[in-house]
A = this chain, B = another copy of it.
Amino acid sequence: MRKTAVAIVGWGNVGRACKRAISECSDMYLAGVVRRASSLKTEDPTLENTVVVSDIKELGDVDVALLCIPSREVPQRIREYHAMGINTVDSFDEHHRIVSLRRELDVSAKVKKTVSIIGAGWDPGTDSLIRALMKVVSLTGHTTTTFGGNKGGRSMGHTVQVKSIAGVKDAVALTLANGRGKQKRKVYVELEKGADITAIEKAILADDYFKNEPTEIMVVKSIDKYNTLQHSAEIERTGMQANQMYSVSGNNPEFTANIMVSSVRACINAYNKEDYGVYTFIERPIIDYLAGNSLDDKLEGY
């Protein structure tokens, strides 16, 4: 079987973790990494023996591009890659925009004969699948998702957003449980010289990522001691016929990367069946995300 050629687009925490995840999968290989032209000259020992380009066209045939860029840049990048006939996987994280994004991009994907799996991270993504499955087990009931527990976890989307604000030198945005099914944010910000903290606070609190949850902002000299890559979630469904609980905890970019890389398979499976279009994580059969050459492989431990 031909191996799938995968490109990593963006070289942040998730992009790096995707490289590790691809190396664990014998059915695909890393064709190269796409970075901003301005970053190409940066020395980076983790990119040794890796082709690094600023335009995906330079990589030749790429079956699937893993979009490891900020969520807000994802829609435009999908459009560009679809126009080139390249399939994509991303972990777009704005829940309320997923359905409209899927609808909008699905049209051109079908014309261009490409496939995208969008929102293929953990939440939205695998957690969404858990929530759907819990409804199947208990038709009536109430589901809550609680992030971060008492210690809090680093939200990648929120952190990237704060870092993009002018005057912010570095930042980490934590999500903490705030009672069952509710959360609050703690943002640690390291400022550039002469930065206007009032304007920065205003920009954070007005942003879609923060405006619906209690958010505490703290200016610190260095974010080092507040930084972490850990995160966690707990999903509970109480119902008439059954109670269910699912929890996940670990290194956020690492397990996000696992999910994205597994989604490469679902993407290629859809492409090979000519099921062109844009799909959320729960719209493809879970068997299509698994490694293995045969039904027996994939159903092992079923």
A interface list, Cβ under 8 A from B: 21, 24-25, 95, 98-99, 102-103, 119, 122, 124, 126, 128-133, 135-140, 143, 239-251, 254-255, 257-259, 261-262, 280, 282-287, 289-290, 295-296, 299, 301-302
Task: List 16 A–B pairs whose Cβ atoms lie within 8 Å, in order of A's numbering.
Answer: A21-B139, A99-B295, A103-B295, A126-B133, A128-B299, A132-B286, A132-B290, A136-B289, A139-B261, A241-B258, A242-B251, A244-B248, A282-B286, A282-B287, A283-B287, A286-B286
Interchain CB contact under 8 A, B259 and A241: no
Integer count of this chain's copies in the complex:
2
Cα A261 to Cα B135 in complex, Å, equals 12
Interface centre among A24, A130, A143, A239 (most CB of B within 10 A): A130
Chain B CB within 10 A, most for which of A124, A131, A244, A286: A286
B248:A137 contact, CB within 8 angstroms: yes
Measured between C-beta atoms, what is the minimum distance from A11 to chain B in Å?
19
- Chain B residues within an 8 Å CB radius of A289: 132, 136
Residues of B close to A290: CB separation below 8 A: 132, 135-136
| Docked CA distance A140–B296 (Å) | 19
Q: Contact at A262–B136, with CB atoms within 8 Å?
A: yes
User: Which of chain B's residues have a CB closer than 8 A to the CB of A295?
Assistant: 99, 102-103
Contact A122 B137 (CB under 8 A): yes
Q: Which residues of B contact A242 (CB under 8 A)?
A: 248-251, 254-255, 258
A137 to B258, CA, bound (A): 6
- For residue A299, which residues in chain B have a CB less than 8 angstroms away from its CB? 98-99, 128, 280, 282
Other contacts beyond A241-B251, A282-B285: 13, CB < 8 A: A24-B140, A103-B295, A119-B302, A126-B137, A129-B133, A130-B246, A136-B289, A136-B290, A137-B255, A239-B250, A246-B246, A282-B286, A286-B286
Asked if A262 meets B25 with Cβ closer than 8 Å, knowing A280-B302, A299-B280, the reply is no
